[in-house]
């Protein structure tokens, strides 16, 4: 199940309970994000990535791209793909 599918299920369960949620949290508007190091100076960005790489968290995953998105309304300013983009 994707994170967006899970969010849709959570919204539906909340709706069934008669609880109103804000527009920004509804499945068609919600943007999943995981801020881990906000306001890191540009000069220390490489160091921050090294620290994050060494953390042993109880989650797994991978990054495909890094982007800058403004909301609301949602507007992508740029996206930068990471790693190998050649299909094998």
Asked whether residue 86 is assigned to any structural domain, the reply reads no
pTM: 0.39
Q: Which residues form the domain of 20? A: 3-81
For residue 30, give the nearest of 85, 69, 66, 68 by alpha carbon: 69
Asked whether residue 87 is assigned to any structural domain, the reply reads no
Q: Which helix (H) or strand (E) holds 5?
A: helix 3-16
Question: How high does pLDDT run on average in the chain?
Answer: 77
Q: How many helices (H) and strands (E) does the chain have?
A: 2, 2
pLDDT of residue 46: 86
Asked whether residue 71 is assigned to any structural domain, the reply reads yes
Of residues 35 and 76, more confidence is placed in 76
Asked whether residue 75 is assigned to any structural domain, the reply reads yes
pLDDT tens digit string along 19-29? 888 888 887 88
CA–CA separation, 46 vs 27, rounded Å? 34
Total structural domains in the chain? Answer: 1
Asked whether residue 77 is assigned to any structural domain, the reply reads yes
CA–CA separation, 3 vs 20, rounded Å? 21
Asked whether residue 88 is assigned to any structural domain, the reply reads no
Asked whether residue 63 is assigned to any structural domain, the reply reads yes
For residue 67, give the nearest of 81, 57, 87 by alpha carbon: 81
């Amino acid at each position: 199940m994707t994170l967006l599918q899970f969010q849709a299920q959570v919204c539906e369960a909340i709706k069934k309970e008669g609880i109103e949620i804000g527009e920004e949290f509804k499945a068609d508007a919600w943007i999943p994000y995981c801020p881990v190091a906000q306001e890191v100076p540009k000069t220390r960005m490489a160091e921050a990535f090294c620290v994050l790489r060494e953390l042993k968290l109880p989650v797994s995953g991978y990054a495909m791209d890094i982007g800058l998105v403004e909301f609301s309304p949602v507007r992508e300013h740029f996206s930068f793909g990471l790693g190998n983009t050649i299909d094998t």
